[in-house]
Structure 1
Amino acid sequence: MNPPGVRRVTWRAMRARRRELARLCGWSLVESLPALLSGYLVARAVDEGFLAGHALTGLTWLGALAVAVLIGATATGRTYRSLGAVVEPFRDELAAQVVRGALRDATRAGGHPDSTAVARLTHQTEIVRDTFAGLLMVTRGFLFSAGAALLGLLALAPVVAALAAAPLAVGLAVFLTALPAMVTHQRAYVRAGEQLGQSAATALAGHRDVLACGAQARVTADVERRVSSQAAAERTLARMAAIRSLSLGIGGWLPLVVLLAAAPWLVQHGLTAGAVLGALIYVSTGLQPALHTLVQGVGGGGLRYVVTLENILRTCPEIDAPRPPESVNRTPRSRPPTGRTGPAPAVEVRGLTFRYGPRSRPILENFSLDLTHGEHLAVVGPSGAGKSTLAALMAGLVPPQAGTVHLAGEPVTGADPAALARMRVLVPQEAYIFTGRLADNLRYLRPDADDRTLETALDTLGARPLATRLGGLNAQVTPALLSGGERQLIAAVRAWLAPAPLVILDEATCHLDPALEATVEDAFARRPGSLVVIAHRISSALRARRLLVLDGDEPVAGTHEQLLAHSATYRLLVGYWDEPAVAPPATPARRG
């Protein structure tokens, strides 16, 4: 009956709240006190009180039953409070999973918004919450009520317990055997409803086109077919109620018939009239209602729970809940830690503070960050947040007011320009191209590169069409005759050829079209060394394994999923960018 995903999620939700479940079971045990004592106390009231001519004794036994009922009623209120402590957090976790899945699908490369996520969040999640609560209540109700009734029957007479338990077990077996088929039909009903909703929504959204094309009959027929499919699924599901009635008849009513039929024989073998009445009370007020609640609850709400949760898990696969992104403001340190056992990070920033004036607000304050060798980091944030400033500080072009920057363990402050050039290459938004041969521009940072190496770089970064148009490697380049995108592309090839292990792209591809930008950034990501990209498109951010958000407050770093969950600034940027990601093509279609 229970798909593995549903079983795993349900079991995990209950294990996570063992204390709350234990409290629920404890109050359920108290609540079942009347079910445990009712038959026994009535039997004593009849045998020792009313039939013996001692009415006061009989009333005393019944008074004890009334006290048990009051205690059970008090415990009932406590069970619902304990139930909420289990169910509501589960609903919140499920809603968060739906939201994360919808955001991931809408913001991943090639993704798109899914309108059905609203239905999953508002309708299906509430169905799961309500049916999960119902399942817990009916399951614990059956276990405690039926268990208490059977214990009471054993206390009266073991033979009576056997006569009642046998039909109960048969009825349960019939119901459990039919349960997989019920799940199948419930699943078909839910999917038929989804297909009907999608068909109707499509027809309504495109009604003008339908009228313009004269396709009313075709669209109407399609919607009618979906309506008929849903109606058929609902009728099939309704027919399954007959099986539930059969199991109730066997497990709930047959024990009463058996006890009544066996009453003369039981009395002849020493069972008192009070004990027979008590046994009938145990069956009619304990076993029968418990079984009825279980069958109706599992056969109705339980099926909806399994199928609806299965649908949510199918459309929103489980992903690890994003951990809060790391804060990148740490205790400042003036130099790299001593006693390091491994290689120094590619970039190590400690306690960095920078402001453009003595009284101005700091662009960065007490900022710290590590970038490992080979790591791809994208820096995002609103305009003026300090992204380009951070790039200049990393590159050693601007000295900080406080803190340090080390590249591969070497400080950048006070470093010789030639030494800095060997450690990093910075490509700004406004690319510098000088008048001269194309090959000389490309060899600017790697003078020993031969023509074959240059040709490979042009092909790798998608710059071959530009080189061909200009006339090849020996062509003369005039910067004023190049577009902004063409200048950026030449600068990108130059940086890709540089031997420096760290490349910083400060919006260095903003004039390229998305396809060519993807080609360039993919080439840098596959290049040996580390990469920092000051991103201006969501696609640039998504290509990075790690992101840093600067928003004028405390910077945070993390994965795309972590920042979607914990950074309001990042969510706003993703919504503002909201452009399709483009995979790198074999040949770029446009530049500039």
Structure 2
Amino acid sequence: MKIRELLWGAARRRPRNLVRLFGWSFAEAAPSFVSGQAIAHALDDGFAAGRPVVGLGWLMLMAAAWLTAAIGARQVLLAIARIVEPFRDALLRHVVAGTLHRSATSGLRPDSAAVARLSRQVELARDSFAAVIAVSRSFLFSVAGVVLGVLTLTGSVLPLVLLPLVAGLALFSASLPAMARLQRRLILAEEGTASSVASMVDALRDVTACGAQDRVEAVVGRDVARQAGIATALARLTAVRTLSLAVGGWLPILLVLAATPALVRDGATAGVVLGTLTYVAQSLTPALGSLVQGVGVNGVRLVVALERILKTGARPAETSSPEATPTETPTATPTATTAAARRIGAPRGASLWLRGVTFAYGPGAEPVVSELTLSVPEGDHLAVVGPSGIGKSTVAALAAGILRPGDGQVLIGGVPVQALGRAALSRARVLIPQEAYVFRGTLRENLTYLATGRSSSGGSPEIGSLPDPALDRALDRAVDAVGMAHLAERIGGYEAPVDPSELSSGERQLIALTRAYLSPARLVLLDEATCHLDPAAEARAEEAFAARGGTLIVIAHRLTSALRARRVLVMDGVRARVGTHEEMIAGSPLYRDLMGRWEDPVAAGA
């Protein structure tokens, strides 16, 4: 997305706010037109004519204009806030969505420091956008008021005002690209310096112990010197702002003063000359100064911040996303992939098939999964077991389409997950991770937000489209089946608000499990989703999903999950074996060892 389109879209998202902004801007700009007129008439028609009451009346009119401007200024700030706050929210959504998407597709944890830096850039962009709107709008209305006022006093003076103004604006505009480049370099240098200093502080004890003070001082000093040099260059360039202000704001005053004898000969009165100078000195020069300062600083910061946000907060290229991954060959284009997805249609059933899947976290890393071929027919109940860190969660993420295999293919219902759009994929499968997600809202909203629309097979309506009494009965059945009836009662019912911070990890897991139970997905993947439940609660939840229908894959936290499953997938390094519990006891030494270590304490307790 281009920066210009982003800013224009934010400004026109709600036209009513623009109308309100422009309306109150007229009120705020009232002194720009009234001040010169009031001074000229107060002098010529009032005090100079021996009528002080008339002169005071014109001055009172100018005071009223300033009072109106004060009221308008307050309303202008509120109108600007209505524009920039949604703009800020949209940028934050972009940053968070891009970070989460990169984390999900790469399998790496989000860089919290990078997210924090981008969040600061978002706040900087919001403040800069507000400042640019404020000064640009104020300048335009002030110039319009000055031009109209000068024309009503004496039109011959207008070139003396406008020509220097145009020259000053042109000089300022010419310096903006260089300012943007230096400002961009300065932001990067500031971040580099902060990173170097932070690393030095964290390792200060080791630096001292190793006698590496001189070397570290040189490295950090180089970053500081680079930042100082860029800041100095930017300071020199900002001198152009002062020159443009002098040309556009103060030169008109000198020209009007120099032309005063000629204006008087042409019939201009002292009030007209003083009113013209008032227009320039009181309205035009301050407005130009605010524009130069606001756009020269905040405008440049806004562009640089948005460039950083749009670049570093963006999702990976479309060719690496699940929606646009080639379906058959590496040379397939995103357009061809989308067309293939439309031809293939929705998954046919809830079977899962991994064909020669290999996955590694990063180029050159050892594969976590190597040439794994696995067929899970619809209606199957599979438990995945193995030592901690062996790659069980990676298999779950691959099966859910969250991770993309380096080689091989993953199919749900006979359809490659790469050919499924996000909506179709979410209707086909549901993945519950170890850390359950619960949001602030009612219990009903937490339980049913996946249960909307129609089923993935296009059949009967999902529970989200049922009338309220039927929906409550469906909720009751799910809550009772999974075993969270007591929790629902303690929270206060379906309409009660849920505060995630007040729930235990096990209670959050019960809510997430019930949500998955109510979803339309027929393929359910439980990635240690019951690890915070006691064994009895875990058994009840797994049995509920087994009786629900569809396909169930459980990344086992306790080996009792393997005893409840129809088949067991045993992961041993990059190898994997699948079969019934009896077959694994007979053929897998690792499985026998795991079961032996688990069963011995039970036998001893008996």
Answer yes or no: same fold by TM over 0.5.
Answer: yes
**RMSD, aligned α-carbons:** 4.6
Q: How far off its partner does 1:104 sit?
A: 4.9
CA contact (8 A) 1:210 1:216 kept: yes
Q: Which amino acid aligns with 2:81?
A: G
TM-superposed deviation, 1:316 = 1.7
The correspondence for 2:521, drawn from 371, 378, 389, is 371
Alignment: residue pair count: 427
- Whether the aligned pair in 2 keeps the contact of 1:99 and 1:121 (CA below 8 Å) is no
Q: Which residue of 2 aligns with 1:190?
A: 187
| 1:69 pairs with one of 57, 63, 66 | 66
Which amino acid is 1:368 matched to? L
Aligned to 1:120: 117
- Say whether 1:291 aligns with 2:311: no
Distance 1:50 1:464, change over 3 A: closer
1:111 lines up with 2:108 in the alignment: yes
2:236 is matched with: 239
CA contact (8 A) 1:149 1:286 kept: yes
- Is the 8 Å Cα contact of residues 167 and 250 (structure 1) preserved in structure 2? yes
> Is 1:46 the equivalent of 2:43?
yes
Q: What SS does the corresponding residue of 1:112 show, helix, strand or coil?
A: coil
Amino acid at match of 2:174: T
Q: Matched residue of 2:160: which SS?
A: helix
Of 139, 144, 147, which residue of structure 2 is paired with 1:142?
Answer: 139
Distance 1:358 1:201 in 2: 47
Alignment correspondent of 1:545 = none
1:131 aligns with 128
Distance 1:358 1:314 in 2: 44
Which deviations, in whole Å up to 9, do the C-alpha atoms of 1:469-524 show, x marking residues without a partner? xxxx9xx9782573455899xxxxxxxxxxxxxxxxxxxxxxxxxxxxxxxxxxxx
Please tell me whether residue 13 in structure 1 is matched to residue 10 in structure 2. Answer: yes
Q: Which moved more, 1:6-15 or 1:284-293?
A: 6-15
- 1:361 CA drift (Å): 7.2
Distance 1:485 1:140, change over 3 A: farther
In structure 1, what is the Cα distance between the partners aligned to 2:87 and 2:140? 23
Matches within 5 A, 1:111-260: 111-117=108-114, 119-120=116-117, 123-260=120-257
Query: What aligned pairs does 1:353-364 form with structure 2 within 5 A after superposition?
Result: 353=478, 354-355=480-481
SS of the aligned residue for 1:85 comes to: helix
**In the superposition, relative to structure 1, how do residues 484 and 237 fare at CA in structure 2: closer, same or farther (>3 Å)?**
same
Show the counterpart of 2:276: 279
Q: Distance in 1 between matches of 2:456 and 2:103?
A: 42
Q: Is 2:75 the counterpart of 1:78?
A: yes
Q: Deviations over 1:34-59 (max 9, x none)?
A: 11111112212222222323222222
Alpha-carbon deviation of 1:83? 2.9
| Structure 2 residue matching 1:371: 3-state secondary structure | coil
Q: Give 2:262's aligned residue.
A: 265
Separation (CA, whole Å) in 2 of partners of 1:261 and 1:433: 96
Q: d(CA) in 1 for partners of 2:242 and 2:483?
A: 82
- Residue 313 (structure 2) aligns with: 316
1:230-269 CA deviation, whole Å, 9 max, x = no partner?
0000000000122111111111111112212222222222
Secondary structure of the structure 2 residue equivalent to 1:370: coil
Greater Cα offset, 87-96 or 45-54: 87-96
What CA deviation, in whole Å up to 9, does each residue of 1:286-342 have, x standing for no partner? 11111011001111222222223322333222799x99998664999xxxx9xx997
Q: Secondary structure at the match of 2:49?
A: coil
* Structure 2 residues without counterparts, runs of 5 or longer: 319-421, 424-438, 465-470, 489-509, 595-606
* SS in structure 2 of the partner of residue 254 of structure 1: helix
Task: Tell me by how many angstroms 1:219 deviates.
Answer: 1.8
Q: Relative to structure 1, is the Cα distance of residues 259 and 358 closer, same or farther in structure 2, using a 3 angstrom cutoff?
A: closer
Inter-CA distance 484–165: structure 2 relative to 1 (3 Å threshold):
same
Aligned-partner Cα distance in 1 for 2:525–2:209? 50
Give the secondary structure class of the aligned counterpart of 2:519.
strand
Report what 1:479 is aligned to: 585
Structure 1 377/258 Cα, relative in aligned 2: closer, same or farther at 3 Å? farther
- Please say if residues 139 and 294 of structure 1, whose CA atoms lie closer than 8 Å, have aligned partners that are also in contact: yes
Alpha carbons 1:348, 1:371 under 8 Å: kept: no
The one-letter amino acid of 2:45's match is E
Residues 273, 427 of structure 1: alpha-carbon distance in 2 compared, 3 angstrom cutoff = closer
Q: Which has the larger radius of gyration?
A: 1
Query: What is the identity, as a one-letter code, of the residue corresponding to 1:29?
Result: F
Judged with a 3 Å threshold, the aligned counterparts in structure 2 of structure 1 residues 63 and 226 are, in CA distance, closer, same or farther, namely same
**Rounded Cα–Cα distance in structure 1 between residues aligned with 2:179 and 2:99:** 30
Q: 1:37 aligns with which of 34, 38, 45?
A: 34
> 1:314-463 maps to which residues of 2 (within 5 A)?
314-317=311-314, 329=448, 344=459, 351=474, 352-353=477-478, 354-355=480-481, 368-371=518-521, 381-382=529-530, 383-384=532-533, 389=540, 392-393=543-544, 395=546, 398=547, 429=556
Assess, with a 3 A threshold, how the Cα gap between structure 1 residues 151 and 378 changes in structure 2: closer, same or farther.
farther
| TM-score relative to the length of structure 1 | 0.61
SS for the counterpart of 1:267 is: helix
TM-score normalised to the size of structure 2?
0.59
Task: Report the AA paired with residue 266 of structure 2.
Answer: H
- Any idea what SS the aligned residue of 1:180 has? helix
> Which amino acid in 2 is paired with 1:181?
A
Report the Cα offset of residue 212 of structure 1: 4.4
SS in 2 for 1:52: coil
CA deviation after TM superposition for structure 1 residue 120, in Å: 2.1
1:392 deviation in Å? 4.1
After TM superposition, give the deviation of residue 185 of structure 1 in Å: 0.7
Counterpart residue type for residue 520 of structure 2? D
Q: Hey, what's the Cα distance between the residues in 1 that align with 2:119 and 2:450?
A: 44
User: Does the CA-based 8 Å contact 1:42-1:277 persist in structure 2?
Assistant: yes
Give how far 1:177 is off.
Answer: 1.4
d(CA) in 2 for partners of 1:299 and 1:283? 21
Unaligned runs of 5+ in 1: 399-404, 408-423, 435-441, 446-456, 468-472, 489-592
**Residue 62 (structure 1) shift:** 1.7
Any idea what SS the aligned residue of 2:259 has?
helix
* DSSP-derived class of the 2:520 partner: strand
Q: Distance in 2 between matches of 1:245 and 1:130?
A: 23
Would the alpha carbon gap of residues 39 and 331 (structure 1) be closer, same or farther in structure 2, given more than 3 Å must change? Answer: closer
Measured after TM superposition, the shift of residue 142 of structure 1 is 0.6
> 1:182/1:36 Cα in 2 relative to 1: closer, same or farther (>3 Å)?
same
